[in-house]
Structure 1
Amino acid sequence: MSQRIDKWLWAARFFKTRALAAQAVNGGKVHVDGERVKPARTLQPGDRLRITRGHETREVIVRGFNEQRRPAAEAQGLYEETPESRARRESDAEQRRLLRAAMPRTEHRPDKRQRRHIRRFLGK
């Protein structure tokens, strides 16, 4: 059995609509076995996909197909994420969390007087 890549990405819940899935494939955000593909490319069980969404990159192996978009628990059965991909995603998320924690935060937004001082300091 085989299925179009855009339809599979939609059924596996990587994208909310098939149009978004096709747009990501056309934009080079999805690769099959290391190659850039078109939305009409058919997938076979065992194909290895690299899917990039924002800061997150996943490498998954196709395990099954579904013609309809099913609940998330069933959709996760359509693929298997590689252990390297899972470890890389978790470490990247941890780094982003630590970076966010290191950023200075204020208790509130600057008031009008403070904004004037900031603009004067920045030379605007």
Structure 2
Amino acid sequence: METTRVDKWLWSIRLYKTRTAAGQACRAGHVRVNGDRVKPAAAVGVGDVVEARVGDWPRVVEVARVIETRVGAKVAVDCYVDRSPPPPTRDVTHLLEGIRDPGAGRPTKKDRREMERLKGRRAR
């Protein structure tokens, strides 16, 4: 087997959870093979570079082995070379907004208004 469908391959290497999701990503224009937008039935072979947007993270993988069936995660990793940029860092400042010291007791009306202001809600 020298080539396979791009949607099958993306599903087989576990980049997308279902083959349907891989096909929808192709139809939406989120998948490129060697720089060109492709339909789900486009062929991929060894050496092709596949760019796919998975969630908010752009993934860039090179085809190292062509497979058509879904395999285990350890085997799937051997079928591609990951050239993706590092995942975006998570902004944790919004997590710290509502944290109070342990044992601080029940918040006062002033404390509550301050927390609502930090969360972006309008204080009454």
Q: TM-score, normalised by structure 1?
A: 0.75
Structure 2: which amino acid aligns with 1:122? R
Q: What percent of counterpart residues are identical? A: 34
Distance, in Å, in 2 between the alignment partners of 1:15 and 1:54 is: 10
Distance, in Å, in 2 between the alignment partners of 1:71 and 1:105 is: 41
Count residues with an aligned counterpart. Answer: 110
Cα deviation per residue 1:50-89 (whole Å; 9 max; x = unaligned)?
111122111110011222211001011111012xx2xx32
Give the 3 Å change call, closer, same or farther, for CA 107–123 of structure 1 in structure 2.
Answer: closer
Which residue does 2:45 correspond to in 1? Answer: 44
Which residue does 1:20 correspond to in 2? Answer: 21
User: 2:79 matched to 1:78?
Assistant: yes
SS at match of 2:78: helix
Structure 2: which amino acid aligns with 1:105? E
Give 1:106's match in structure 2, choosing from 74, 95, 98. Answer: 98
Cα deviation per residue 1:19-72 (whole Å; 9 max; x = unaligned)?
111001111111111111000001011000111112211111001122221100
Structure 1: which amino acid aligns with 2:56? H
Which residue does 2:103 correspond to in 1? Answer: none
Query: Any runs of at least 4 consecutive aligned residues in structure 1 with deviations exceeding 6 A, and if so which?
Result: none
The CA deviation at 1:123 is 7.5
Contact 2:45 2:66 in 1 (8 A): no
Distance, in Å, in 1 between the alignment partners of 2:66 and 2:52 is: 17
Cα deviation per residue 1:93-122 (whole Å; 9 max; x = unaligned)?
3xx2xx21x2333148xx9x758xx5xx72
- Gap regions ≥5 residues in structure 2: 101-106
CA RMSD, aligned part only?
Answer: 2.6
Give 2:86's match in structure 1, choosing from 84, 89, 106. Answer: 89
- Gap regions ≥5 residues in structure 1: none
Larger proportion of helix: 1
